[in-house]
């Protein structure tokens, strides 16, 4: 990675006793698209907020373009754009006015060409001069994006940019994000839609309960965690798996009514695992086999993290009084 555009080191955020971010470190290089994935309440918005000055971190350092935000919290932010999760503009101004105000806010000279370009790119030109309260939900989202980009930021945060928008708009936005990247903009996006990360991201981070669990190249991640994915359903709970399936690493679900197997190089083939199930006369009712998806990986990582969190330290188990 070149000099990172964003350098987050050991950042924590506590609200009273609650830890929203727990020792997060993350570097993002120029021109990459980084997707931050995680369930609701994981800390995604908090992390973005601490970079963008909306949340005051409890500890750690954040550098943007090499500038430590504790030393200079203002000037680097002029080069950052944020598309917030929540609509945050004044409903009485028109789209055009919002964008003009935003330019002024960022200390930029009036740049009508830029405003026009964004309105067009985001398909808002026809609504440029109506009060923004009259825009549809999808249009409001587009305007949020235009607003975040009007000062030509080099680092852009998109916090669930396509939550609740229709598929068509989502595709448009993806195309626009790719264009931004082609122009050299660095993009950090949070998303619930794994499809979105799969489509766009160069690297993926998974966050849960304030902890960044994993950061990896998307392609590596998808390779490492299995090329094909086999899911077998049983009509009743299964007590024992055949030796071949166990040694290959097939996993029974908690209710023992289904089995998942990720085929990887050097491991048993999915077909052989399946044959061993039939040979053992297990009550197979349904078989699904498909290419690995980011969704599988996310679920797997979150499940591991949950198990980890659920297992109390040994001393606590011994000391725990019986109810
Ligand atoms: N101002 C606040 N006071 C107390 N808790 C907060 C505050 N803001 C966020 N949290 C908590 O921090 C956690 C992370 O929230 P957030 O970053 O919004 O998650 P995400 O964006 O991943 O859904 C949540 O449990 C949330 O309730
Ligand atoms: Mg959020």
- CATH at residue 87: 3.40.50.300
Q: Indicate the pLDDT class of residue 2, thresholds 50, 70 and 90.
A: low
Q: Ligand 1: does its nearest atom lie under 6 Å from the Cβ of 48?
A: no
Q: Ligand 1: does its nearest atom lie under 6 Å from the Cβ of 41?
A: yes
Q: Ligand 1: does its nearest atom lie under 6 Å from the Cβ of 138?
A: no
For the chain, give the percent of residues with pLDDT over 90.
62
Q: Point out the domain boundary residue: 206, 222, 238.
A: 222
CA of 62 to the centre of ligand 2 (A): 19
CA of 43 to the centre of ligand 1 (A): 6
For the ranges 90-99, 116-125, 302-311, the lowest mean pLDDT is seen at 302-311
Number of helical H runs and strand E runs in the chain: 11, 14
Q: Ligand 1: does its nearest atom lie under 6 Å from the Cβ of 46?
A: yes
Same-domain status, 184 and 246: no
The protein residue whose alpha carbon is closest to atom 5 in ligand 1 is 15
Same-domain status, 244 and 264: yes
Q: Ligand 1: does its nearest atom lie under 6 Å from the Cβ of 278?
A: no
State yes or no: pLDDT of 259 exceeds 90.
Answer: yes
State yes or no: pLDDT of 315 exceeds 50.
Answer: no
State yes or no: pLDDT of 313 exceeds 60.
Answer: no
State yes or no: pLDDT of 318 exceeds 70.
Answer: no
- What's the mean pLDDT in 225-245? 88
State yes or no: pLDDT of 323 exceeds 50.
Answer: no
In a domain, 29, yes or no: yes
**pTM confidence score:** 0.79
In a domain, 276, yes or no: yes
Q: Indicate the pLDDT class of residue 226, thresholds 50, 70 and 90.
A: low
CA of 282 to the centre of ligand 1 (A): 45
Q: Point out the domain boundary residue: 176, 202, 222.
A: 222
**What's the structural domain count of the chain?**
2
State yes or no: pLDDT of 321 exceeds 70.
Answer: no
Same-domain status, 207 and 65: yes
Same-domain status, 259 and 218: no
Residue 91's domain spans which residues?
6-222
Asked if residues 39 and 48 have their Cβ atoms less than 8 Å apart, the reply is: no
In a domain, 37, yes or no: yes
Q: What is the pLDDT of residue 225?
A: 62
State yes or no: pLDDT of 319 exceeds 80.
Answer: no
Q: Indicate the pLDDT class of residue 194, thresholds 50, 70 and 90.
A: confident
Q: Which residue intervals of the chain are DSSP H helices?
A: 44-52, 95-105, 112-121, 137-149, 167-182, 194-200, 218-224, 243-248, 270-279, 294-310, 314-319
In a domain, 55, yes or no: yes
Give the residue from 4, 86, 53, 36 showing the smallest Cα distance to 213: 36
In a domain, 196, yes or no: yes
Same-domain status, 167 and 30: yes
State yes or no: pLDDT of 215 exceeds 60.
Answer: yes
CA of 234 to the centre of ligand 1 (A): 39
CA of 254 to the centre of ligand 2 (A): 29
What is the number of the ligand 1 atom nearest to the C-alpha of 40?
A: 23
Model confidence pLDDT, tens digit, residues 260-309: 998 877 888 888 999 999 999 999 999 998 776 777 778 778 888 877 77
Q: Ligand 1: does its nearest atom lie under 6 Å from the Cβ of 42?
A: yes
Q: Ligand 1: does its nearest atom lie under 6 Å from the Cβ of 245?
A: no
What integer best gives the mean pLDDT of the chain?
A: 88
Same-domain status, 133 and 239: no
Q: Ligand 1: does its nearest atom lie under 6 Å from the Cβ of 44?
A: yes
Same-domain status, 217 and 284: no
Q: What is the pLDDT of residue 154?
A: 95
- CA–CA separation, 11 vs 21, rounded Å? 7
Same-domain status, 185 and 243: no
Q: Indicate the pLDDT class of residue 224, thresholds 50, 70 and 90.
A: low
Model confidence pLDDT, tens digit, residues 26-68: 999 999 999 999 988 999 999 999 999 999 999 999 999 999 9
Query: Which domain CATH number covers 245?
Result: 3.30.70
What is the number of the ligand 1 atom nearest to the C-alpha of 47?
A: 17
Asked if residues 69 and 63 have their Cβ atoms less than 8 Å apart, the reply is: yes
Q: What is the pLDDT of residue 311?
A: 56
For the chain, give the percent of residues with pLDDT over 70.
93
Which residue(s) pair with 217 in the sheet? Answer: 203
Looking at mean pLDDT, say which of 194-198, 209-213, 297-301 comes out highest: 209-213
State yes or no: pLDDT of 76 exceeds 50.
Answer: yes
Pocket test for ligand 1, best of 11, 39, 43, 206 (most atoms within 8 A of CB): 43
In a domain, 311, yes or no: no
- What's the mean pLDDT in 4-27? 97
Same-domain status, 96 and 236: no
| Ligand with smallest separation from the Cα of 42 | 1
Q: What is the pLDDT of residue 322?
A: 39
In a domain, 323, yes or no: no
Q: What is the pLDDT of residue 181?
A: 92
In a domain, 194, yes or no: yes
What is the number of the ligand 1 atom nearest to the C-alpha of 49?
A: 17
| Structure-token match 């964004």, residue found | 118
The protein residue whose alpha carbon is closest to atom 1 in ligand 1 is 15
Same-domain status, 42 and 107: yes
Q: What is the pLDDT of residue 108?
A: 85
CA R_g for the chain: 24
């Amino acid at each position: 990675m070149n000099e990172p555009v964003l350098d987050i080191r050991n950042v924590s955020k506590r609200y009273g006793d609650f830890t929203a971010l727990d020792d997060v470190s993350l570097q993002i290089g120029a021109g990459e698209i980084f997707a931050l994935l995680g369930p609701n309440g994981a800390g995604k918005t908090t992390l973005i907020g601490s970079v963008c000055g909306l949340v005051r971190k409890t500890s750690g350092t954040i550098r943007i373009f090499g500038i430590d935000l504790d030393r200079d919290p203002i000037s680097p932010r002029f080069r950052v754009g944020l598309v917030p999760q929540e609509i945050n503009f004044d409903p009485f101004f028109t789209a055009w006015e919002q964008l003009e105000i935003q330019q002024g806010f960022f200390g930029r000279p009036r740049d009508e060409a830029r405003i026009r370009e964004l309105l067009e790119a985001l398909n808002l030109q026809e609504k440029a001069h109506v009060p923004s309260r009259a825009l549809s939900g999808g249009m409001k989202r587009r305007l949020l994006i235009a607003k975040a980009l009007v000062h030509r930021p080099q680092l852009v945060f998109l916090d669930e940019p396509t939550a609740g928008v229709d598929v068509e708009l989502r595709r448009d936005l993806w195309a626009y994000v790719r264009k931004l990247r082609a122009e050299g903009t660095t993009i950090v996006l949070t998303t619930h839609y794994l499809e979105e990360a799969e489509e766009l991201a160069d690297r993926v981070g998974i966050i849960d309960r304030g902890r960044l669990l994993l950061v990896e190249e998307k392609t590596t991640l998808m390779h490492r965690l299995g090329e094909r994915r086999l899911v077998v359903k049983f009509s009743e709970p299964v007590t024992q798996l055949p030796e071949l399936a166990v040694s290959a690493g097939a996993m029974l679900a908690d209710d023992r009514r289904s089995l998942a197997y990720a085929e990887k190089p050097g491991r048993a083939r999915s077909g052989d695992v399946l044959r061993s199930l039939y040979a053992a006369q297990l009550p197979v009712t349904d078989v699904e086999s498909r290419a690995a998806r980011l969704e599988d990986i996310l679920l797997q990582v979150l499940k591991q993290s949950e198990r980890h969190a659920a297992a109390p330290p040994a001393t606590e188990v011994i000391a725990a009084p019986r109810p």
